[in-house]
Amino acid sequence: MKIRVGQGYDVHQLAEGREFWLGGILIPHTHGAQGHSDADVVCHVLCDALLGAANLRNIGYHFSDKDPRWKGVDSKLLLAEVMRMIREKGYEVANVDVTVVLQEPKLNPYIPAMKTCLSGVMQIPEDDISIKATTSEHMGFVGRKEGIAAFCVALIYS
C-alpha cells in the first residue's frame, strides 16, 4: 500500500450581499466569499490538499480563474472532478481534516450538514471528513471580518 499526504490553504475576501457557500451548503449571512467561482473555501482547500497528495499540481492549474468556464461554478463540481482525477491515478481518500478560520458567523451548527454534503460529493464516509472552525481572536483580515481562510490535510492511499 502506498500512502500520501497533501495540504491545502485558501483565502477569500468577504463581500456584502454575496451568497455564502461553505462546505457545499448555503449559509445565511450578510456577507459571502468573493471569487471567480462560488468561492467555497472548504471545497477549494479540499481540492488543493487532494491534488497535492496525488502530485497533480493545484486547483488553479486545473480550474484557472482566467477560464470563463469556471465563472460562478459550484465548487462541489470542482471537488467531484478532483475526486475523479485522484481515483484515475489509483488513489482513495483515507481521511481529510479541514480548519476554517472565520470571525463570524459561528459555523458549528452547520458542520454536520457540510459533512453530509461533502460525503456525497466525495463518495466517502462522513466519519472520514473532519471540519473544525475557529476565529482569529479579532486579529488580522479574518478578525476584521474582511475575509475567510481555510487549511486542510488529506491522506490518500493506493
The predicted model scores a pTM of 0.97
Rounded Cα distance, 48 and 13, in Å: 18
Give pLDDT tens digits for 54-113.
999 999 999 998 999 899 999 999 999 999 999 999 999 999 999 999 999 999 999 999
Question: What per-residue confidence (pLDDT) applies to 76?
Answer: 98
Question: What per-residue confidence (pLDDT) applies to 134?
Answer: 98
Assess contact for 93 and 122: CB atoms under 8 A: yes
What's the mean per-residue pLDDT of the chain? 97
Name the β-bridge partners of 119.
none
Assess contact for 153 and 7: CB atoms under 8 A: yes
Assess contact for 93 and 155: CB atoms under 8 A: yes
Percent of the chain with pLDDT over 70: 100
